[in-house]
Structure 1
Amino acid sequence: MSFFSRAIRRPRCVRRSLRPIHSFQHCYSILAPDLPSIFVPPHISTFVSPYPPTAMLEALRGLATPALLAAATVYFLAWRFGESRRLAHIYSLGFSDPVLSYWSAFLMQIDSKRYIQKQWERVPPGTKWVKLPGFIRWYVLPFGTEEFQALTRASDDIVSSTEAVNEYLHARHTLRNDIIGDGIQVPLINTELTRSLGELVPEVNEEALAALDEMFPLEGNEWKSFLVSPALLQIFAKVANRVLVGLPLCRDASYIKTNVDFAVNVIVMSFVLCATPPPLRDLVDRLVSPIPKKFERIRGYLQPIIDARRAEKEKLGAEYEPHPDMLSWMIDLAEQHGRDDRDIILRMMSTNFGVIHTASMNFQHAFYSLLSMPQYMEELRAEVVQCIDEHGWSKTAVDNMKLMDGFIKESQRLNIIGIIIGNRIATKDCTLAGVFIPKGTMLTANVVEAHNSRDFWGPTVDEFDPYRYIRMEKETGKKLGIVTTSANSLSFGLGRHSCPGRFFAAQELKLLMAHLLLDYEMKFDTKEQSRPKDVWFGMSCMPNPNTRVLLRKRVKA
Structure 2
Amino acid sequence: MAGVLQKVQEIWPIDGYIVFIAAAIALYIPVYHRSEARKLQHIPAAGSGYAWMFYFDAVRYLVSGAKFLETGFSQAHSQIARVPSLFAGWVVVLRSREIIEEWRKGTDELFSLDNVHDSLQTEYTMSERIITNPYHIPIIRSQLQKALPQLIAPVYEEIDLSLKASIVDSPGEWTGIDPRELFVKAIAQASNRMLVGLPLCRNEEFLGVAINYTFDVVKMSTILRLFPKSVRPLVNRLLPTIENSVAKGMKYLGPMIKERKAQFEHQEGNVPDDFLQWMLEDATEEEDQDDRELGVRVLTLNFVSVHTTSTTICQATIDLAAYPQYQDELRAEAEAVVKEHGWTKEGLDKMIKIDSFIKESQRLHPVSTTLQDRLVTRDYTFKNGVTLPKGTNIALDIEHGNRQYTDPATFDPWRFYNIQRETDKPSSMTTLAPEFLSFGHGRHACPGRFFAAYEAKIALAWLLLKYDLKLKSGTRVPDILFGPTRLPNPKNKVLLRRRT
Instruction: Report the TM-score range of the alignment, normalised by the length of the smaller protein.
Output: over 0.9
Matched to 2:62, the amino acid is: Q
Residues 452 and 461 of structure 1 are in contact (CA less than 8 Å); yes or no, is this contact kept in structure 2?
Answer: yes
Cα distance in 2 between the residues matched to 1:223 and 1:547: 15
Q: Work out which of the residue numbers 148, 155, 161 in structure 2 matches 1:197.
A: 148
Residue 278 of structure 2 is aligned with which of 312, 324, 329?
329
Q: Which of 48, 67, 76 is 2:29 aligned to?
A: 76
Shift of 1:409: 0.3
Cα pair distance change 1:160/1:54, threshold 3 Å:
farther
Amino acid at match of 1:156: D
Indicate the residue corresponding to 2:67 in structure 1.
Answer: 114
Q: 1: CA distance between counterparts of 2:321 and 2:346?
A: 26
2:119 partner letter? Y
- Structure 2 residue aligned with 1:175, among 103, 126, 132? 126
Q: Does 1:544 align with 2:499?
A: no
Tell me, yes or no, if structure 1 residue 217 matches structure 2 residue 168: yes
Whether 1:414 and 2:364 are equivalent positions in the alignment is: yes
Following the alignment from structure 1 to structure 2, what is the Cα–Cα distance between the partners of residues 257 and 329? 24
Distance 1:54 1:553 in 2: 50
Could you tell me how far apart the structure 1 residues matched to 2:377 and 2:137 are? 21
Change (3 A) 1:180 1:81: same
| Correspondences of 1:106-255 after superposition (within 5 Å) | 106-124=59-77, 127=78, 129-136=80-87, 137-161=89-113, 163-255=114-206
1:493 shift after superposition: 1.1
Asked whether the 8 Å contact 1:164–1:424 carries over to 2, the reply is yes
Structure 2 letter corresponding to 1:359: T
Of residues 223-232 and 514-523 in structure 1, the stretch that sits farther from structure 2 once superposed is 223-232
Residue identity opposite 2:311 in structure 1: M
The answer as to whether partners of 2:356 and 2:429 remain within 8 angstroms in 1 is yes
CA gap 1:308/1:219 in 2 versus in 1, 3 angstroms: farther
Contact 1:104 1:133 in 2 (8 A): yes
Partner residue of 2:477? 532
Rounded to whole Å, the distance in 1 between the matches of 2:284 and 2:150 is: 25
Aligned equivalent of 1:383: 333
Read off the aligned partner of 1:64 and give its amino acid letter.
Answer: V
In 2: Cα distance, 1:255 partner to 1:140 partner? 39
* 2:341 aligned with 1:394: no
Q: For 1:371, which of 318, 321, 335 is the aligned residue?
A: 321
Give per-residue Cα distances to partners, 1:188-241, cap 9 Å, x unaligned.
111111111100000001111101111113354443323332222111111111
- Residue of structure 1 equivalent to 2:3: none
Tell me the distance in 2 between the aligned counterparts of 1:417 and 1:54.
Answer: 36
Deviation at 1:489, TM superposition (A): 0.5
Q: Which residue of 1 aligns with 2:433?
A: 486
**What RMSD, in angstroms, separates the aligned Cα atoms of the two structures?**
2.2
Unaligned runs of 5+ in 2: 1-7
Deviation of 1:313 after TM superposition, in Å, equals 3.1
1:356-410 alpha-carbon deviations (Å, 9 max, x no partner): 1111111111110110000010000000011112211100110110000000000
Instruction: Between 353-362 and 111-120, report the one with greater CA deviation.
Output: 111-120
Q: Give 1:122 shift.
A: 2.5
2: CA distance, partners of 1:121 / 1:85: 21
The Cα of 1:60 is off from its aligned counterpart by 3.1
- Percent same amino acid among aligned pairs? 32
Structure 1's consecutive aligned runs of 4 or more residues displaced over 6 angstroms after TM superposition are: none
**Corresponding residue of 1:554:** 499
Structure 1 residue 117, shift from structure 2 partner = 2.8
User: Does residue 298 of structure 2 align to residue 348 of structure 1?
Assistant: yes
Q: Is the 2:334–2:351 contact (alpha carbons within 8 Å) kept by the matching residues of 1?
A: yes
Checking the alignment, whether the CA contact within 8 Å between 2:324 and 2:469 is kept in structure 1 is no
Equivalent pair of 1:229/1:546 in contact (CA under 8 Å)? no
Question: Conserved in 1, the CA contact under 8 Å of 2:72 and 2:81?
Answer: no
TM-score with structure 2 length normalisation? 0.93
Deviates more, 1:289-298 or 1:391-400: 289-298
- Counterpart AA for 2:386: V
Partner amino acid for 2:156? N
Structure-1 separation of matches of 2:237 and 2:392: 29
Q: Is the 8 A contact 1:426 1:439 kept in 2?
A: yes
- Residue matched to 1:357: 307
1:245 positional shift: 0.8
Q: Which residue identity lines up with residue 485 of structure 1 in the other structure?
A: L
8 A Cα contact 1:171 1:178, kept in partner: no
1:467-486 equivalence runs, <5 A = 467-486=414-433
Q: Specify the code of the residue in structure 2 equivalent to 1:119.
A: G
Structure 2 residue aligned with 1:521: 468
Task: Give secondary structure in 2 for the equivalent of 1:180.
Answer: helix
Kindly provide the amino acid, as one letter, of the partner of residue 177 in structure 2.
F
Residue 304 of structure 1: CA displacement?
Answer: 1.5
Instruction: Give yes or no for contact 2:73–2:79 (8 Å, CA) kept in 1.
Output: no
Distance in structure 2 (CA, Å) of the matches to 1:554 and 1:144: 46
Amino acid across the alignment from 1:58:
P
Alpha-carbon distance in 1 for matches of 2:275, 2:43: 44
Question: Offset of 1:54 from its aligned partner?
Answer: 11
2:306 partner SS: helix
CA shift for structure 1 position 143: 4.4
Amino acid at match of 2:135: I
Q: Please tell me whether residue 503 in structure 1 is matched to residue 450 in structure 2.
A: yes
Partner AA of 1:139 in structure 2: V
Over 3 Å counting, the alpha-carbon distance change for 1:217 and 1:536 in structure 2 is: same
Mind listing any 5+ residue stretches in structure 1 that lack a counterpart? 1-41, 43-52
* Alignment partners' CA distance in 2, 1:62 and 1:539: 30
- Matched residues in 1 for 2:410 and 2:418: separation? 15
When the two structures are superposed, what TM-score results if normalisation uses the length of structure 1?
0.84
Cα pair 2:318 2:494 within 8 Å, conserved = no
Q: Return the alpha-carbon distance in structure 1 between the equivalents of residues 108 and 439 of structure 2.
A: 19
Give the SS at the match of 2:82. strand
Q: Which moved more, 1:69-78 or 1:202-211?
A: 69-78
Closer, same or farther: CA 465–337 of 1 in aligned 2, 3 Å: farther
Counterpart position of 2:216? 265
Query: Post-superposition shift, 1:338?
Result: 5.7
- Does structure 1 retain, via aligned residues, the 8 Å contact 2:46–2:71? no
Give 1:429 shift: 3.0
Using the TM superposition, name which of 440-449 and 225-234 deviates more.
225-234
Q: Is the 8 A contact 2:73 2:80 kept in 1?
A: no
Is the 1:147–1:432 contact (alpha carbons within 8 Å) kept by the matching residues of 2? Answer: yes
CA contact (8 A) 1:174 1:269 kept: yes
For the residue of structure 1 that corresponds to 2:381, the secondary structure is strand
Tell whether the 8 Å contact from 1:201 to 1:393 is kept in structure 2 after alignment.
Answer: yes
- 1:175 partner letter: M
